[in-house]
Structure 1
Amino acid sequence: MRKLKNILRLGRKELWSLVRDPVMLILIVYVFTLSIYSAATALPETMHNATIAIVDDDRSALSGRIASAFYPPEFVRPQLINQVEMDAGMDRGDYTFTLHIPSSFQRDVLAGRNPEVQLNIDATRMSQAFTGNGYIQQVVMGEVNEFVQRYRASTQLPVELEMRSRFNPTLEKSWFGGVAEIITSVAMLSIILTGAALIREREHGTIEHLLVMPVTPGEIMISKIWSMGLVVLIATYVSLNVVIRGMLQVPIEGSVPLFLCGVVLCLFAMTSMGIYMATVARSMPQFGLLFMLTMIPMNLLSGGRTPRESMPQFVQDLMQLAPTTHFVELGQAILFRGAGLETVWKPFLALFVIGSVLFVLSLRRFRKTIAQMA
């Protein structure tokens, strides 16, 4: 009971220290509100209000159908320009896409020839250039095929491909981006808060006060883990309901309590990692650099931004050792697909094992650091 009281009192001290640190409080509020909302709504991967201009040298019914097939919200209303204005408009950045339909286009199509349509793309606008290339080709080919079928009175094939998108039927990037960002925020803040708490005590000299008290390094470490983890857990729950469900209108399919259990395991692993990094770094600037070198690869390779299947097999195997990989897996499965414990028990178990290993390593490193200071 004495050790438990020491852990609770030391954790309460950490909470009071955090309350007196306005910069950290502002960071927590920003990361779990504005950062999540801006990351979910900025730079859409799908087409949205893309500017397009059309040079229609054919002036036929088919070219008119193609021009009218581009409409909001994927595109702004196409501007009909001449060939002289096409290059100048692309140079000024007025258009992301320019489509040149040559003369005699409809006649060549109906005659069975293979006329070419020129599509110019401003590749400096990467988020829309990659997606728009294939999208515009589908629009043009769809209109051409439908026009030819109606003109020749041919019937469609008895089999059609009907595409349905599960879990995100409208392909809203904000749905995926918001949840992916909150998962990233949990991992990032848990490292920053615990590491900053330890370095702050070292810089202020209060760590020496703790050394003369009847407390062990394990009690000091556990107190920092549960106090900072509690702050991140509460912020996650509030952000999930206020920002994700409220502001972004993202439907949560699975169990929020089950997801929060996964958050607890992730916090256990990431806070232990934060303490280990804080014992390696000698100051906050060094801790910040070490955090960037660690967190950026974990964030990019965890599967939250890029599917892990598209990565080299060596990277996939290596990232199995990172807690963020398993947290992203269980987070997406629960929040997007409504998975239960029978589906996500493997990432839960992996997080527990990784967290236990990191905790033991951090405790050994912390004890060694305390012994050197004593």
Structure 2
Amino acid sequence: MRTRHLANVYRLGVKELWSLWRDPMMLFLIVYTFSFAIYTAATAMPDTLHGAPIAIVDEDGSPLSSRIVSAFYPPQFTAPQMISIGEMDRGMDAGRFTFALDIPPDFQRDVLAGRSASVQLNVDATRMGQAFTGSGYVQQIVLGEISEFTQHYRASSVPPVDLALRARFNPALEKSWFGGLMEIINNVTMLSIILTGAALIREREHGTIEHLLVMPVTPTEIMLAKVWAMGVVVLLAAAISLNVVVRGLLQVPIEGSIALFLAGACLHLFATTSLGIFMATLARSMPQFGLLLILTMIPLEMLSGGQTPRESMPRFVQDLMLLAPTTHFVELGQAILYRGAGISVVWKPFLALALIGSVLFTLSLRRFRGSISRMA
């Protein structure tokens, strides 16, 4: 009897894989999500200053102003555009540069005489990513060049306390390391919900669910087949993306065991695929399912600790998100992939995912049985 149940689950799962293979849009979504989307998320972090256009009005023409001009160079900034005072406003209005620095006449003379001197920095604040980050860069560069010029040498006074900064797990503070791995974790969640939910809704819309009702299969077998089939697809895509895109193209070092991470991903997929089936039983069509997905994915991604540390969130949100599988998946993913943690460290997230997955599977199975009985 048990062998027959397992055979039914296997054959139904193979049927799901063939249905997915015949859906070109879903195949394109899988390939895009675990290739181009991973690469762009890692290389286009919004808080990274890269290639910011800057224009400088040098009304002083002094050695000090020349030092300030030469201090702006790639990759943070493009080569400074030397413009006149009349071109500054027109260039800002046309969006040709994000920053416009105006060095007034007699600036060096005022600085050396100890008189009050000012430099005007105009910022295009509509370019929020560059504006907020870059304005701090510009101020630091200008003040640093002025300080070194007035001291007549490029040395700083030795402070009484020396703060030694050591960045662990990401010594160069490369944002692509964080962006690529977090995008894989988020996409595993999103795609597993989409594939299982769309598979169930597609069968309902095409009428194939009625064919399954007359076959000697149970609702548990139907649901288990969808869970393992879609889970295998997402797991395989995540493993390929982790090795080809993250480790290959982005050159991100993986400290821990990929096999252990994929084992945790299996538990996470058990929970999220069950959630996808539950949402599909609530929705009557794909547009409704898409709306439910938006309402579900935003809090799962934003409040799970992948974008913002959970410690900075309100206590109520921290406690509530312990019920979400993404919270524990992000925790074990960061611990394994970043810090090289073993099972002795991540066993709690593993246990939490197993419990959450069991609860979601039970609730989804009850809902799925109820929807099938109404159709029958």
**Common topology (TM > 0.5):** yes
Q: Secondary structure at the match of 1:166?
A: coil
1:271-312 CA-partner distances (Å, limit 9, x unpaired): 010000011111222111211221123222223233334433
Distance of aligned partners of 1:188 and 1:371 in 2 relative to their CA distance in 1, 3 Å threshold = same
Structure 1 residue 113 displacement after superposition: 4.4
What residue in structure 2 maps to residue 109 of structure 1? 111
Q: How far is the alpha carbon of 1:191 from its aligned partner?
A: 0.4
Distance in 2 of aligned mates of 1:162 and 1:60 = 37
Q: Tell me which residue corresponds to 2:346.
A: 344
Q: Which residue in the other structure is 1:235 paired with?
A: 237
- Say which SS state the counterpart of residue 40 (structure 1) adopts: helix
Q: 3-state DSSP class of the match of 1:95?
A: coil
Contact kept, 8 Å, 1:193 with 1:228, in 2: the verdict is: yes
Q: Report the equivalent of 1:76.
A: 78
Q: Where does residue 265 of structure 1 map in the other structure?
A: 267
Match of 1:37 in 2: 39
**CA positional deviation for 1:110:** 3.7
Q: Is the 1:229–1:264 contact (alpha carbons within 8 Å) kept by the matching residues of 2? A: yes
Q: In structure 1, what is the Cα distance between the partners aligned to 2:366 and 2:156? A: 77
Q: Residue in 2 aligned with 1:293?
A: 295
| Aligned-partner SS, 1:120 | strand
Q: Which amino acid aligns with 1:245?
A: R
Q: After superposing the two structures, state which structure 1 stretch, 231-240 or 77-86, moved more.
A: 77-86
Instruction: Work out whether residues 44 and 173 of structure 1, in 8 Å CA contact, stay in contact via their aligned partners in 2.
Output: no
Partner AA of 1:332 in structure 2: Q
CA contact (8 A) 1:194 1:225 kept: yes
Greater alpha carbon shift after TM alignment, 265-274 vs 207-216: 207-216
CA shift in 2, pair 1:154/1:124, >3 Å? closer
In structure 2, distance between residues paired with 1:60 and 1:343: 60
1:178 equivalent in structure 2? 180
Q: Distance in 2 between matches of 1:290 and 1:134?
A: 40
Following superposition, the deviation at residue 55 of structure 1 comes to 1.8
Which of 199, 205, 209 is the equivalent residue of 1:197? 199
Shift of 1:166: 3.0
Provide the rounded CA distance (Å) in 2 between the counterparts of 1:92 and 1:312.
42
Q: CA deviation at 1:155?
A: 4.3
Distance 1:128 1:307, change over 3 A: farther
Please, which moves more after superposition, 340-349 or 5-14?
Answer: 340-349
What is the SS of the residue equivalent to 1:100? strand
Q: Would the aligned equivalents of 1:15 and 1:227 in 2 still touch at CA under 8 Å?
A: yes
The DSSP-based 3-state class of the residue aligned with 2:152 is helix
Residue 31 to residue 88, structure 1, CA distance change in 2 (3 Å): same
| Partner Cα separation in structure 1 for residue 336 and residue 363 of structure 2 | 30
* Aligned residue among 148, 168, 171 for 2:170: 168
Superposition TM-score, scaled by structure 1 size: 0.93
Q: Tell me the residue number matched to 1:142.
A: 144
The C-alpha deviation readout for 1:258-277, integer Å capped at 9, x for no partner, is: 11011111101100100000
Percent pairwise identity: 72
Give the deviation of 1:162 after TM superposition: 4.5
Q: 2-side partners of 1:97 and 1:154: how far apart?
A: 28
Paired residue total: 374
Single out whichever of 108-117 and 338-347 deviates more from structure 2.
108-117
Q: CA RMSD in A?
A: 2.1
| Cα drift, residue 44 of structure 1 | 4.5
Kindly state the Cα deviation for residue 121 of structure 1 after the two structures are TM-superposed: 0.8
| Matched residue, 1:275 | 277
Q: How far, CA to CA, are the matches of 1:108 and 1:321 in structure 2?
A: 63
In structure 1, stretches of 5+ residues that fail to align are: none
Unmatched tracts of structure 2, length 5 or more:
none
The one-letter code matched in structure 1 to 2:125 is A
Q: Residue deviations 1:194-251, cap 9 Å, x none?
A: 1111112212222222222222211111111011101111111111111111122221
Partner of 1:214: 216
Residue pair 2:148, 2:154 contacting (<8 A) in 1 also: no
Alpha-carbon contact 1:43-1:127 (below 8 Å) kept: no
Greater shift, 308-317 or 287-296, is seen at: 308-317
- Matched with 2:308 is 306
Deviations 1:73-95 (A, max 9, x none): 11111122222221111111111
Q: Distance in 1 between matches of 2:154 and 2:222?
A: 81
Instruction: Tell me which residue corresponds to 1:99.
Output: 101
CA deviations over 1:312-347 (Å, ceiling 9, x no partner): 333333222221122122212222222222322222
Query: Which one-letter code corresponds to 1:321 in the other structure?
Result: L
Task: Pick which of 100-109 and 259-268 moved more.
Answer: 100-109
Q: What CA distance in whole angstroms lies between the structure 2 residues aligned with 1:218 and 1:59?
A: 79
Change (3 A) 1:251 1:314: same
Shift of 1:114: 4.4
Using structure 2 for the length normalisation, give the TM-score: 0.92
1:357 Cα deviation (Å)? 1.3
What is the aligned partner in structure 2 of residue 121 from structure 1?
123
Q: 1:116 to 1:304 in 2, by over 3 A?
A: same
Q: Hey, what's the Cα distance between the residues in 2 that align with 1:240 and 1:350?
A: 24
Residue 191 of structure 1 contacts residue 274 of structure 1 at CA under 8 Å; is this kept in 2?
yes
Q: Which range is displaced more, 352-361 or 208-217? A: 208-217
- Bigger Cα displacement from structure 2, 185-194 vs 44-53: 44-53
1:59 is matched with 61
